[in-house]
Amino acid sequence: MNDSSSDVVLDDDALVLDWQHLLTDVDESGIATITINRPKALNALNSEVLEELNDALVEAAMSDDVKVIIITGAGDKSFVAGADIGEMADMTPVEARDHALTGQGVFANIESCPKPVIAMINGFALGGGLELAMACHIRVACEGAKLGLPETGLALIPGFGGTQRLMRIVGTGVAREWILTADMFDASEAHRVGLVNRLVPADELLEATMKLAKTLCKRGPVAMETALDCIRRGLEGGQTQGENTEADAFGILFTSEDSREGMHAFLEKRKPAYKGC
Ligand code: DAK
């Protein structure tokens, strides 16, 4: 993962980052929540938000206190309504390419995060917002949320990895339809095509997402990191290469204390106590 700069304030023995556009929290179970907090612009992603999101992700990924990360948007209307159109409108081609590379880098960091990252989709997830959700490992959405890639309606294309991730998640047929039509789709349709993992009523979104996150907190952290890595590498190579990676990773996991603990706990009919090593 790439680190990037941010205003760091030293507060006794803890590192506290002074966010302009995010709210961050870590609860006692090890669930970190990163909330994009620009509700007046429906949490649209500008360069500053992208930089802070990257910093918050790096901080959560490196913290011993964090097991699972949730990304969501402030307010009850929008997850993220896209890249900030105002910021992009007058970009030069060079600036636009750099902007795309910046966003792609941040979202690649999310996808390669060693800890599970859940997108809690609480409303509009459009353009760069849906691209952000697709970079997360699991997506939970509330009924009534609207998802889509409206870029072709602006005579653009998705520029933060959307043309690549959507087809890998839902297949080329649905991806072409979503990208070419620029339509917004209801979360129930996104769930039907497999883009959304779990669909819940709006007033149960937080509870359902926390329940999922708590389940992941109980799993072996090294095993989850290894599984995520195998899946990601598998997406970039073929089946045979992927299975070789899996076999190597499976063997390496037998060097971990946690794998012995997991199997012995099963045999001894008790709950495992994982240390993350
Ligand atoms: N950017 C900037 N501001 C936005 C925004 C956005 N994406 N979405 C909403 N806002 C702002 C609105 O301008 C409005 O601001 P004020 O007028 O109050 O100052 C405020 O949020 C509330 O929005 P609305 O008044 O429009 O609210 P409505 O409920 O009427 O409509 C809506 C909600 C989500 C349907 C509508 O706001 C909307 O259509 N928003 C735009 C959605 C959209 O097109 N998203 C995709 C953006 S393009 C690339 C890199 C990245 C990308 C592409 C290329 N390269 C560099 C090559 C990605 C592109 C995108 O994501």
pLDDT of residue 17: 62
Residue range(s) defining the domain that contains residue 144: 8-217
- Respond yes or no: is residue 131 known to be catalytic: yes
Q: Is there a single domain that holds both residue 212 and residue 225?
A: no
Report the distance separating Cα 259 and Cα 220, nearest Å: 8
**Which residues are CB-neighbours of 92 under 8 A, at least 6 positions away?**
none
CATH number of the domain at 202, please. Answer: 3.90.226.10
pLDDT of residue 14: 42
pLDDT of residue 10: 41
Number of domain units in the chain: 2
Token pair 């933060």: residue: 160
pLDDT of residue 165: 97
The segments of the chain whose pLDDT lies below 50 read 2-16
State the pTM of this model. Answer: 0.94
Centroid of ligand 1 to alpha carbon of 126 (angstroms) = 8
- Respond yes or no: is residue 257 known to be catalytic: no
Nearest ligand 1 atom to the CA of 98 is 56
Centroid of ligand 1 to alpha carbon of 104 (angstroms) = 19
Q: Is there a single domain that holds both residue 106 and residue 120?
A: yes
Three-state secondary structure along 79-134? EECCECHHHHCCCCHHHHHHHHHHHHHHHHHHHCCCCCEEEEECCEEECHHHHHHH
Q: Is there a single domain that holds both residue 95 and residue 155?
A: yes
Which run of H or of E encompasses 229?
helix 221-236
Q: Is there a single domain that holds both residue 43 and residue 148?
A: yes
Q: Is there a single domain that holds both residue 85 and residue 153?
A: yes
Q: Is there a single domain that holds both residue 81 and residue 100?
A: yes
What single-letter amino acid sits at 108? A
